[in-house]
Structure 1
């Protein structure tokens, strides 16, 4: 496995029914999560989350991939240089 890097994953949840599965995926990667913040945006019926991790690139990519496979969930990642 590669060296750990800090990464921020931005998540948009457009289907509230996917929240339980989303939380299960985040729990699965919990050992790498530094912190998370979720903001419900009721006028649009969505939630926006930011999750910060300290993990190998492969782990972050695996998390983002699993999140992207959930119905109504979009995820994008930004990596630090370190």
Structure 2
């Protein structure tokens, strides 16, 4: 199956959204290569970056679910590289 590397940038404007974000990320854990979270108390936000290696439809599904959470802004960047993985 063809996969791509993607970076999802997440800005969390309300800490109450954190549990929902973590629950969704847990669902897609097998596709997540790495995660970094940075709290920024001066501005009252947290910034999370997620690196994925997954099929386009999986990346889009995760991005869509995250984007529907109130007080959460996301942007997804796709690599131009794609690869074929064998199961």
TM-score (norm 2): 0.90
Answering whether residue 50 of structure 2 is matched by residue 51 of structure 1, we say yes
Q: List structure 1 segments (4+ residues) > 2 angstroms apart after TM superposition.
A: none
- RMSD over aligned Cα, in angstroms? 0.8
Answering whether residue 33 of structure 2 is matched by residue 23 of structure 1, we say no
Q: Unaligned stretches of 5+ in structure 1? A: none
Work out which of the two has the higher radius of gyration on C-alpha atoms and give 1 or 2: 2
TM-score (norm 1): 0.96
Select between 2-11 and 29-38 the one with higher mean Cα deviation.
Answer: 2-11
Counterparts in 2 of 1:30-41, with a 5 A limit? 30-41=29-40
Mapped partners of 1:69, 1:28: distance in 2: 16
Aligned counterpart, 2:10: 11
- Of Structure 1 and Structure 2, the greater strand share is in 2
Q: Unaligned stretches of 5+ in structure 2? A: 82-87
